[in-house]
Structure formats: structure tokens, C-alpha cells
């Protein structure tokens, strides 16, 4: 056994519906502006864009039902509800027609974003990590295996804040479908078992505040709940 200078961090993991085992998380990839209506509300033309990706750190994960502090360093934190794809196999240059064979299951996630810091980074041409990869920025539900939920390519995706609907779309509105996302990502990274892909958010993103209760869901997949302390 190796000797460490101090105890290594625990492996980030998510519960799995229907079993006691945990899903160990390797990396978190996020797809930017993957719903046309969200791309438009952010001032972009979805018909002219190739998919682009950014990452969150695995230890930014938060289990559904948690209460978190309002994120530090920002006065404008936004919610983004997303389908999450969990991989059981990795690889490079994965063909689209074989991409779904790599999927273990699906979950519902929130891509919390420090929008004011993101706007500043965009203006200065800087990376987005400070706006996306901060502590507790990736709340996520338990993972539902494919054997239970299949491969959802349509169905409602929504987010309520304090009981009022903020986001309400359908998975069939995704510009880049799950097989395409996996295939394209695999040309840029060596994907691995345990990778998560946050698949983009529909229109209606907006600010959250202290005391807010967020409840998001995807038909036939599940729901995620978060309280801002």
C-alpha cells in the first residue's frame, strides 16, 4: 500500500436506484447551450454553433435533498436543470451508433452558475471555471440504471423554485442528442467509466436566493431537490 503525506480524499459517488452500490464519479463534463431556446435567451444563434464543453470537478457534487450555503463571491447565482448521463464504459472516438452501449444510467442535475462571474469571464475572454466549478455547484439525484428508465430522448424537463415553475422544456428539444454528445466528447477526451455528462438546460434560467427551495425533474428519470440556506 502506498504511503500518503495525508489521507486522500474520498471518491465522489452517487447512489443508484434499486441497489446498495454507489456510482463512483470520475469526471463531470457539461454541454453548453444544448437547448435552442436557452441559446437564444443567452444571445446566441443555435443554428450556427458546434457543441462545446466545460467541466466541473467531481467533488462539486451534492446529493439531492441537501441544503447548501449561498455560493460565495457572487451576487447573481442562477439555476440550470439538466439531464445527467452516467457512463459505465469509456474510450476514444466512439461511433455514434455504439455510444448508448457506454451508458450506465441517467439522473437529474443542477448546474449552478455564478452568472455575474461568467459574464465577466466572457467579456475578458477568460475560462469559465470560476463561474461553474465552485463548491457544491453540481447537485444531482440518484442514478437510475438503463434497465429501469431506458434511454430517455423525450419527456418533460422542469425546475420549480418555491413551487413556481421557472424552466419547462422537453428532452426532444436538445440540439445534440445523447449519442452525439458522447461521440463528440470522445474525440476530445479519453472517456472513462464513472464519467457524468450534464446534457444542457432549457430556457428559463434565472437567479436564486437565500431560503429558496429548488425542485427539478425529468420524466421517467427522477427529481432533484435543493435548499439554499
Percent of the chain with pLDDT over 90: 89
Nearest to 136 by CA among 83, 75, 58, 200: 58
pLDDT at 33 (0 to 100) = 82
Per-residue confidence band for 62, with pLDDT thresholds at 50, 70 and 90: very high
3-state helix, strand, coil in the chain (%, to 5): 20, 35, 40
Rounded distance, CA 23 to CA 14, Å? 5
* pTM reported for the whole predicted model: 0.94
CA distances from 158 to 110, 154, 182 (A): 11, 13, 23
Specify the DSSP element, H or E, that contains 183. Answer: helix 178-185
Per-residue confidence band for 69, with pLDDT thresholds at 50, 70 and 90: very high
Q: How many other CB atoms are found less than 10 A from the CB of residue 217?
A: 19
pLDDT tens-digit readout, 45-59: 566 567 889 999 999
Superfamily of domain 24-228: Fumarylacetoacetase-like, C-terminal domain (3.90.850.10)
Q: What is the DSSP letter of 191?
A: B
pLDDT tens-digit readout, 83-112: 999 999 999 999 999 999 999 999 999 999
pLDDT tens-digit readout, 163-184: 999 999 999 999 999 999 999 9
pLDDT tens-digit readout, 71-80: 999 999 999 9
Amino acid at each position: 500500500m502506498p504511503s500518503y503525506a495525508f489521507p486522500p480524499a474520498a471518491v465522489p459517488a452517487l447512489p443508484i436506484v434499486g441497489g446498495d452500490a454507489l456510482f463512483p464519479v470520475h469526471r463531470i463534463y457539461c454541454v453548453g447551450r444544448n437547448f435552442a431556446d436557452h441559446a437564444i435567451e443567452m444571445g446566441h444563434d443555435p443554428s450556427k454553433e458546434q457543441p462545446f464543453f466545460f467541466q466541473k470537478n467531481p467533488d462539486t457534487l451534492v446529493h439531492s435533498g441537501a441544503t447548501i450555503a449561498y455560493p460565495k463571491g457572487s451576487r447573481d447565482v442562477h439555476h440550470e436543470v439538466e439531464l445527467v448521463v452516467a457512463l459505465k464504459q469509456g474510450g476514444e472516438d466512439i461511433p455514434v451508433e455504439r455510444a448508448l452501449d457506454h451508458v450506465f444510467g441517467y439522473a437529474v442535475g443542477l448546474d449552478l452558475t455564478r452568472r455575474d462571474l461568467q459574464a465577466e469571464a466572457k467579456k475578458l475572454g477568460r475560462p469559465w471555471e470560476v463561474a461553474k466549478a465552485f463548491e457544491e455547484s453540481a447537485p444531482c439525484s440518484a442514478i437510475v440504471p438503463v434497465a429501469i428508465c431506458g434511454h430517455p430522448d423525450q419527456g418533460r424537463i422542469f425546475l420549480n423554485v418555491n413551487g413556481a415553475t421557472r424552466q419547462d422544456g422537453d428532452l426532444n428539444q436538445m440540439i445534440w442528442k445523447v449519442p452525439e454528445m458522447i461521440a463528440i466528447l470522445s474525440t476530445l477526451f479519453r472517456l472513462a467509466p464513472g464519467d457524468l455528462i450534464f446534457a444542457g438546460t432549457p430556457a428559463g434560467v434565472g437567479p436564486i436566493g437565500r431560503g429558496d427551495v429548488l425542485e427539478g425533474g425529468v420524466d421517467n428519470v427522477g427529481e432533484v431537490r435543493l435548499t439554499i440556506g
